[in-house]
Structure 1
């Protein structure tokens, strides 16, 4: 039986490797919320993590729409060097109660625009941090639809919502999972929503930093796993080629 030439086997291995990387790449290229989950009812600091997935253009704008079916009374942005944040508010059909006051409008959209000379270039990512609260207690997730604009005019619409039992959409909207809040300790009368906002921001920031680090570690582990698969495929292919060459030499 004729053996495959080593070059052909190496070519097959290269194709297999590129296929594995192509399948893995979308998991690393989405606009996401970090951390992926926070407790219901309180205040938390989260970050919209934006990767630049265009090799020939730079990201110059990010627009994030907040879910108005679950509005939040307090939305604050953390300064990002080289970027200007603007908040757009909308009237509420039903006022929110916050610290004994009626809130008749809430932030419905945040836009970050790169200042002159600032760009998010190819191969880079940036975190846009926001303090949110009080988070709703009557839903287990918040969906934030986002638009990512490049300096060549391209706009990526991260607005598709995942459906149960269906594959993940190509351009999924960032989703923040809300988990049940921890029950207060015995003798405590303060609720998360009634706690001081600054204290809530500090706690949320610590929580976000810890979980964002875990998310980053998880992403790194997945990347190394993919690289290991690729190396294994190539090594196996070259090993088979070597065995076939030795077998062919022995036979002759």
Structure 2
């Protein structure tokens, strides 16, 4: 089954909860045809297509993009969001006192993003203006949750920079996007008995859907190519495009508090 060439097509990985689920829902609200992957299938929006998928399985990933090609003939947007986030990721202990499984984020989170991009690239090149977005965080430059998390985020930012080089002179752009503090379902539960605390926290946080609306605006930016290969802050892009969350707010950038994205070197060694 094929669909109208006017419908933009997206794959959002890791969309069963949190940021990925919100991004998929927002893109669906903006009229995208969204394939939302996750090990647990959940509804992400009326138009999103939930795809059960473990991103450790390269064969399953290949099958996903074969399906996208079969049903659409191209891909316009890949959002690499899937990551193996361990329940004990946060906390004050040094890395050797946390479970060794935290390192799985380098498999599902870094390697998996490379694999998805590899399979997506030929389809994105068929788009008039393809885009890859990696979801990242200031943990790539500051200490956040320990070395496994930091290495994954730094790797994602560098991967975006290097893929931007490979996609030069093509219709495809690549960015890494730092999200802010996310007001996820899990975070709302933490403030379940404290509505005032939740309200105060929300002033500095982003809804999961917010990033999706920013990505939609970025995709439609006619000057987007100038940003390719760079790491960007979602809240700052929102100010540039006039994007707000569902309550009309533009969440603040945490650049001054947590650090600034690194600027890639212009040197290219082949």
TM-score range relative to shorter protein: under 0.3
Q: Which of structures 1 and 2 has the larger relative contact order (alpha carbons within 8 angstroms, sep 6+)?
A: 1
- TM-score computed with the length of structure 2 as normaliser: 0.26
More helix by share: 2
Task: Specify the structure having the higher radius of gyration (Cα).
Answer: 1
